[in-house]
Amino acid sequence: MRGAAVDALKKCAEALQHGNQSLANAEMGRVLDLTEEETEPKTRRLIGYFAQALACRTYGFHPTYLSFPSSDWKYRMCEWCDVFTTVGRTISDAVKGKRRVHVIELVQHMHIYKEWESLFDKFDELGDLRHLRLSFLVQ
């Protein structure tokens, strides 16, 4: 993913990391403006998700963390959030070889969705994952 909106996201994240709230606010404004110019719908949506996460971080909103050992996954399948197939594949590709993973999902409302189950099955196939943390930010 490349472009001015992505660069602004990175600058916003760096400003937050260094405690520069005013720069983070300015870059967040740039992100929102530049997202409108993005022509690829999937990229636009992904930039929107990252912008929401950074805005939550900027203004102190924190998600509820669900954290449990990977061996318990299949027994705690309740109220998972919407994950589209492309995102599921992207996540499974990103976690290959990792022992710990943190997935942050931004959603409009909580509901049961079977895509998480297939993602967990994919994690089982990978075999290396020992810990999974899921964070849901419900808007």
pLDDT of residue 6: 83
Farthest-apart Cα atoms in the chain, separation? 45
User: What does each of the 139 residues of the chain score in pLDDT, given as a tens digit?
Assistant: 568 888 888 898 888 889 888 898 888 888 878 887 877 777 777 777 788 777 777 666 655 544 444 444 333 333 333 344 455 566 666 667 777 767 666 655 555 455 566 666 666 676 666 666 666 655 5
Q: b vs e for 39-53, b when ≥16 Cβ sit within 10 Å of the residue's Cβ?
A: eeeebeebbbebbeb
Helix/strand/coil (H/E/C) assignment for every residue in 4-45: HHHHHHHHHHHHHHCCCHHHHHHHHHHHHHHHHHCCCHHHHH
**In angstroms, rounded to a whole number, what is the distance separating the alpha carbons of residues 137 and 63?**
5
